[in-house]
Structures are given as C-alpha cells and as structure tokens.
Amino acid sequence: MPKVFKIRRGLNIPMKGEAEKVFTRAELAEFYAVKPTDFPGLTPKLSVSEGDRVKVGSPLFFDKFRPEVMFTSPVSGVVHFIKRGERRRILEVIVKTDSSRDFEDFGRGNPTEMSSAEITDKLLKAGLWPTIRQRPYSIIANPERKPKAIFISGFDTSPLAPDMDFAVKGEAESFSAGVEVLKKLTDGEVNIGLNGDYPASIVFTKIKGVKHNYFSGPHPAGNVGVQIHRVNPVGKGQVVWVVNPLDVIIIGRLFLKGVYNATKVVALAGSEVLKPRYFIIKTGASIVNMVEDNLTANPEELRFISGNVLTGQKIDYDGFLGFYDNMVSVIPEGDYHEFMGWLKPGFKKYSPSSTFLSKLLPQKKHKFDTNLHGSPRAYVITGQYEKVFPMDIYPVHLIKAIMAKDIDKMENLGIYEVAEEDFALCEYVCTSKTNVQAIIRDGINLMIKEVG
C-alpha cells in the first residue's frame, strides 16, 4: 500500500452546481484573449498591433525582462483589440478567430532523445513555457535554472472543481509525452499528487519513472502548495516547478504533433447554471458560448468567475477563460443588505462555524453568493485560520510580518512556500473580512523586489 498523507485541517465548502460528467464541444468562440494579468510579475511587450494576422502559435507579446519567454495565440485570425488599463497597462490581447486554422509548425520531437536545452528552446518558441510555474513566488519559472523537483497535482479539491480523472480521459499518450518532457528539465523527481480516497485514472497511475504521492482529506489537499510542503518543502535558495495536468497534455501534444494545440476540458459549474457540465474548448476562449441560454437569471445579476470561487478572477458575461484556469463558476451577486441576518436560524445558510442550524445537515448543498455579510473590521487573532490551514506555518504571524514589511520574519515564517491560493480558505473564514490573498501577493512582490 502506498503511503497516504493525511490532511486533517481544511474545509470542503458544500456548494450547489457541480458539473455533470458529460462532454460538450462548445461552438468555436469568435474571440479569444491572452491576458498578461494572468501572469504575476510580468511586464509585457507587444509583438503585434491591431489588425495583424496571426497563426496558432504566433507570438502576441513577450516578457520585457526575459524576451525569450513568449506568449502565443491559441487560435488563428486577426488581432482584434488590445485592451489597456491605467497608464496604458496591457490587460488583454484579443484575437478574432477565422476558419483557416493555420498553425505555426514547431516540429515534432522525441523528448527522450533531446537535451534539456533543446526542450526548453522548443517550449519557449511555442509559447508554452508560461505553463511552468515555480515555487517560491508562484510565477513563471526561470528557464535558466533547474528545479530540485517538479510537481503535478492530479486532483482538485476546491469548490465545484473539475474531476481531473474525467478531464484527462483519452489523453494518456499526450500526458505521458508531457511528463517525459518534464523529466528532462530536472535532475530531481517528477511528483504526481493523487487523491488517496479513491482509485485514480490510469492516465496518472501508469506513468513510469515518476513518484506518485497520495493525499487524503478536505480542501486544500488538492493544492499543489500543500503537496510540496508535505513531500519536498521549498527552502531559501531552492526552486521547485509546478505544472497543471491539462497543461502537461498540451506540452505533450507539442512534441507529438509539432503544433500548439490549446484544447482542454473545462467545467462550467455553479448554482446559477441550468446545465452545469464539461466543455471542450481552447485556452483563452470567450465564455459566452458556454453560458448563453444556460443561466437561471439575467447576466447582470450574476457573478462570472474564471476559476473557482475562492481564487478565481471576476470576468464579464463575454469575458475570457484565464490561462491557468480549468473551470468557470457562476454564482449570484450579493448586492443586498440583510439586517441582523446572523440572528436568524439559518437552515438555508451555511457557516464553517456552528452559527446556523444548517450545521445539523452536513450533507446539504447550499447556494452561495458574493455577499460578505459584514464590513471590514479590526484584524484580530481568533484561531480560525489555523483550523483550515494545513501547513506547518503560522498564517497570522506571516500575514502580520508581510504587513510590517519585515523580510527576515517573512523568510523565517515560510514566505517561500506559499502562494495566494494556499490562504484562500483563511480569507473565506475570516470574520475581519481581510483580503488575505492580496496581502500574500504583496509580500511575494516585496520578496521579489528585495531578495530576487
């Protein structure tokens, strides 16, 4: 029997709207976008202008400080619009697709016969290097460094998360090829994290030459940060890399077919979706074809989220799927005030504490909205964070060290091991309504600036 890492601290949020395990191939979206805002720490420089024609795999922009790291188009067509924000910051590069489906040919390659440098160069040219992120800091990996290990989480425990075993169905060849690529990029182990509570897909388990790690427990057991912490923690001066399993498949296709094929399985979930299910679409697609005529209310009354409800980003009804996201969540907006709502019995309300009588119905699924149920207030130590934070780190102490900009304490308290998603549950249970994830990113940005 393989060893199973027991995660005892955490929380499974009982949300309505889990996606039915049915594949639906969405109509080809008219617009696709690659968003520089998906990549923390990136300073983009454009490679195209509005009106330029691009192929699948054509560069759209690159990293100003690492020009070799390129970001390429997932579809062929014309650069329709370059959306900018304050100080002309580039927010989205939008491509209007056509029916030509022209691909840049990057050439096939057998990773077992290629050097690490050749593999890196191929990933950089195809725009797939950004699929590889590093800890510390949860940013795009530095291609000039070798990690001590690479981690792939083969399951997701976040609210309404897609079933990865279902999402990778039929992709064994591409996933295996992608893993072979990653094995050449490290002198350490490639680790695949699997759910110890049920048998995993053979797409994951049949892979040879990797280390399979099993985890059991509530969310965030599926977070790769928790898995790294238990298996091979990151210390000062060390680097590990992280890759999403669906991105591993896309990497594998590049070497098997010689093209950038960004097709993946994405879950559309949430209480406000009439038919929550799985869609086969491309990275960066507009979600309008997924949600059109598939909602319980007017779009103006709903919150569309690229990603899960804890860590995802708010997007518009016709917004775009994030680069790293494998789901779209739709929940009601919480733009209402409930006078003394905490005094009501609350059979239809959920709380991680025992505030409401719904605690007596642990299997009941609830409809959640975006209402904070209170305003920001004094930040106090309540012990709530420690109940849902499974790492051997003092979360409140680390947050306070970040707010004080005390770099030495941040290092000693584990800043190198964490990312925003690891603190998402802390933010959810916080009675002070503190934006914990934003504080963690501020701390990471400070470390990058001061330490590098």
- How far is it, in rounded angstroms, from Cα 146 to Cα 293? 48
Q: Is residue 399 part of a domain?
A: yes
Q: Which of 80, 97, 114 is the last residue of a domain?
A: 97
Mean pLDDT (whole number) for 342-362 = 65
Residue 393 in any domain: the answer is yes
339 compared with 428, residue with greater pLDDT: 428
End-of-domain residue from the set 71, 97, 123:
97
Q: What is the pLDDT of residues 31-59, one digit of tens each?
A: 999 999 999 999 999 999 999 999 999 99
What are the strands of the beta sheet with 313-315, ordered from one edge?
20-25, 277-282, 263-269, 327-332, 302-306, 313-315
Mean pLDDT of the chain: 94
For residue 58, the enclosing domain spans 31-97
**Is the pLDDT score of 241 beyond 80?**
yes
* CA geometry: angle 135, 217, 231, nearest 5 deg: 35
The closest of 360, 317, 382, 449 to 41, measured between CA atoms, is 449
In the structure, what pLDDT confidence band is assigned to residue 336 with cuts at 50, 70 and 90? confident
Instruction: Identify the CATH number of the domain in which residue 50 sits.
Output: 2.40.50
Q: What is the pLDDT of residue 349?
A: 73
Tell me whether residue 416 is in a domain.
yes
Determine, yes or no, domain membership for 436.
yes
Q: Which residues contact 168 (CB under 8 A, 6 or more apart)?
A: 175, 201, 203, 204, 245, 246, 249, 265
Domain boundary (76, 97, 118) is at 97
Specify if 418 maps to a domain: yes
User: Is residue 305 situated within a structural domain?
Assistant: no
Instruction: Give percent of the chain with pLDDT exceeding 70.
Output: 96
pLDDT at 345 (0 to 100):
61
Residue 357 above 60 pLDDT?
no
Total number of domains in the chain: 2
